[in-house]
Amino acid sequence: MRMLLGFPSGRHFVGSKSTMHRDVPWRTSIRVFTLLTAMVAAFAMCPDALAAAKRTVVGTIKDYGCGDFCHLTVVDARGKKHSALCGAPLCEAWSNAEVMPRRFLGRKVRATVTNESVEYEGQTSRFDIFSKIELR
């Protein structure tokens, strides 16, 4: 009977001290899977938890253009381009005119970038938005 269960001798039974080490990797993988599933479920129920993150970009204004939305491009000290929708109060007049005055081109700025939901033509999408711009 013991050979049918896969045990070569009578001293190895399930739950005995000699077989406990064999269950550890299996139990650990189940615990990790359960933890990851709980984390994914938490973020699915609260997607705005990821959106609350803000970042700051310090650089110079490189470009501004309007299409469906008005985009601003800021280049930081390392030369990396940061492009986002222009939603700061400074951009309101620019958005209405669909053009940025030339005097702002090349100006140093400190901009706060947030990731927000925007509804457009019946669909909701997430975009990076310059929510605050300070001229330097």
One domain for residues 69 and 108: yes
CATH code for the domain of 94: 2.40.50
One domain for residues 38 and 25: yes
What are the Cα distances from residue 8, in Å, to 1, 5, 15, 20?
10, 9, 16, 17
One domain for residues 16 and 33: yes
DSSP state of 72: E
Domain span holding position 73: 50-135
Token couple for 5: 């269960």
How many other CB atoms are there within 10 angstroms of residue 63's CB atom? 13
- Give the E-state strand segments of 10-120 in sequence order: 54-66, 70-76, 81-86, 108-120
Of 28, 45, 62, the one marking the end of a domain is 45
- Give the E-state strand segments of the chain in sequence order: 54-66, 70-76, 81-86, 108-120, 123-135
Strands 70-76 and 81-86 turn out to be antiparallel
Tens place of pLDDT per residue across the chain (136 aa)? 444 444 455 554 555 555 555 555 656 666 666 656 666 665 555 555 554 578 999 999 999 998 888 999 999 999 999 999 999 999 888 988 889 999 999 999 999 999 988 888 888 889 999 999 999 8
| 3-class DSSP state of 56 | strand
One domain for residues 125 and 77: yes
One domain for residues 70 and 120: yes
Token couple for 51: 């959106």
- Its pTM stands at 0.60
One domain for residues 23 and 75: no
One domain for residues 12 and 64: no
Token couple for 14: 């399930």
One domain for residues 117 and 90: yes
One domain for residues 39 and 59: no
One domain for residues 38 and 11: yes
How many structural domains are present in the chain? 2
One domain for residues 75 and 41: no
